[in-house]
Structure 1
């Protein structure tokens, strides 16, 4: 495996001036492909400093969780772009399944020599990947944090109809001629409708920032095939199905108005986990990482203080 320095990401005005100084960006060669990852060093190392490995959600990349990393200046945060998204290559062999992404986490942690004191954090689809990884590899991390976790089957319940429409959308885009399919997937109108539906804040400037982030990064995927495989994985699994195997301390951070990972499912998931802390943020939906990163970071610091390395 080889590593090479990358230029750090630029930081918009919604980030602190200190974030750029904390940032280093690198590439690592894994299984014949390039994985891009970013490291945010702590401003000052203290006994409470932990290394947090962050797994982003579907169609996102490391930019999505950047505001949360910014609110954790005492932590070392490592955020890869998952294979097939952002600046990382798609898997060269094998499909983009939950299990394959789990193997990626194992290989990535081994390559960076990340031990069991590492905190694993997953958002949305990343919560599925992280939870299934921990269930299959007990003891490799000792604390798990899930933000907007996918707590129940996506094809069941009130959201099932919208999920089935999304399945048709991704399948159609994969079967159309390539230029037409990519145009459909990267349609600014469809991305904006999605962004408007998920954003709950009434702050016009923050909404503008969120829409800009989705416009800039939501269409940064490797190809239609890997995107369809990842989407199929995202709606075919959930955290609750492995909850009994997650015997380590787990922090759930849920949005009161989340229409994708609805609150009743979060409470049911909390009841299935052997050692769980559930924090609910009022007035926010599936975009905790954009709208209320300070509150999320506060819950993370408190949780890690209660569960030291």
Structure 2
């Protein structure tokens, strides 16, 4: 794989091109959080999206492209994408929950607010809402939620290999460790393992997304801290303390959290519903964004957070 590698075009490019977008930034906890503000800036409901481990805002754009009648704010997590690291706290669960509270407060949003977390972002959102005294959103959406400890998943052996990989990256001298973390062959192996689609064009585009953005982190310290947080926590730790109506959008073939664990997770929340999407794994946001968006719209319509007319118009 060289810098001249050609990938298939995004199947969601045309839909995303119809969505207004504004780029902005806010100073938060000693770092600069850069975010993308999509959709209707005057909408009565705002969806704040938190992406997964080693990703950035690009990963959730296929879902953003399918939603209408909303304002959608999608930041790059501190230390990833274009956001700079925090200097006032570590990049662990406590640090990221502190950041999410501060970021949402700094936005000064009016109207109804919904928090959406994907994968690692589902842990960040859940941990934030489990704390007492937090400003409460209208509802919560978790896509590919991490519903049980990572080592308990159907591919726990791969998680152990990942732990060794990050341990080795930490043990090596700085330059070699950083290079290992950004190794393109390892990124491709991860991408191949997670993609379930048999569509060659879609697989090519997914690999291109991972090659382009999966190594867009600021430094070794940030990614190692975030990785430790991603395998040390899961949503089930926090679910019982989240009273808001919650939508879980889960993949039937997820290798990280099996669907049986997602069904158990639903029962831990005081008020949750589960939508199961077949024939997809941990990449719902790439492979099944239309299905995810329809589930989100139906949920928000049920909660009275978007009008049925707008939700139907996005179909």
TM-score (norm: length of structure 1): 0.91
Q: Secondary structure at the match of 2:147?
A: coil
Does 2:153 correspond to 1:174?
A: no
In the aligned structure 2, how far is the partner of 1:84 from the partner of 1:144? Answer: 24
Give the Å deviation of 1:245: 0.6
Kindly report which structure 2 residues correspond to 1:1-309, keeping only aligned pairs within 5 A, or say none.
12=10, 14-16=12-14, 19=17, 22-42=20-40, 50-114=45-109, 117-136=112-131, 137-309=133-305
What residue is the counterpart of 1:6 in the other structure? none
- Conserved in 2, the CA contact under 8 Å of 1:22 and 1:43? no
Deviation track 1:54-110 (CA, whole Å, cap 9, x = no partner) reads 000000000000000010022111000000100011111321111211111111111
What residue is the counterpart of 1:3 in the other structure? none
Give the Å deviation of 1:169: 0.7
In the aligned structure 2, how far is the partner of 1:55 from the partner of 1:115? Answer: 19
Q: Secondary structure at the match of 1:108?
A: helix
Give the Å deviation of 1:253: 0.3
**Taking structure 1 as reference, are residues 40 and 265 closer, same or farther at Cα in structure 2, changes over 3 Å only?**
same
* Structure 1: gaps of 5 or more residues: 1-10
In the aligned structure 1, how far is the partner of 2:110 from the partner of 2:217? Answer: 30
- Conserved in 2, the CA contact under 8 Å of 1:115 and 1:140? no
In the aligned structure 1, how far is the partner of 2:292 from the partner of 2:29? Answer: 34
**Taking structure 1 as reference, are residues 208 and 158 closer, same or farther at Cα in structure 2, changes over 3 Å only?**
closer
**Taking structure 1 as reference, are residues 32 and 293 closer, same or farther at Cα in structure 2, changes over 3 Å only?**
same
In the aligned structure 2, how far is the partner of 1:122 from the partner of 1:157? Answer: 20
**Taking structure 1 as reference, are residues 26 and 170 closer, same or farther at Cα in structure 2, changes over 3 Å only?**
same
Q: Secondary structure at the match of 1:215?
A: helix
In the aligned structure 2, how far is the partner of 1:162 from the partner of 1:12? Answer: 29
**Taking structure 1 as reference, are residues 157 and 122 closer, same or farther at Cα in structure 2, changes over 3 Å only?**
closer
Give the Å deviation of 1:244: 1.0
In the aligned structure 2, how far is the partner of 1:194 from the partner of 1:170? Answer: 14
**Taking structure 1 as reference, are residues 232 and 195 closer, same or farther at Cα in structure 2, changes over 3 Å only?**
same
- Conserved in 1, the CA contact under 8 Å of 2:16 and 2:62? no
In the aligned structure 2, how far is the partner of 1:291 from the partner of 1:31? Answer: 34
Deviation track 1:16-63 (CA, whole Å, cap 9, x = no partner) reads 256365111112122332111000023995xxx521000000000000
What residue is the counterpart of 1:5 in the other structure? none
> Which structure carries more relative contact order (alpha carbon 8 Å, separation 6+)?
2
TM-score (norm: length of structure 2): 0.89
- Conserved in 2, the CA contact under 8 Å of 1:43 and 1:73? no
**Taking structure 1 as reference, are residues 120 and 181 closer, same or farther at Cα in structure 2, changes over 3 Å only?**
same
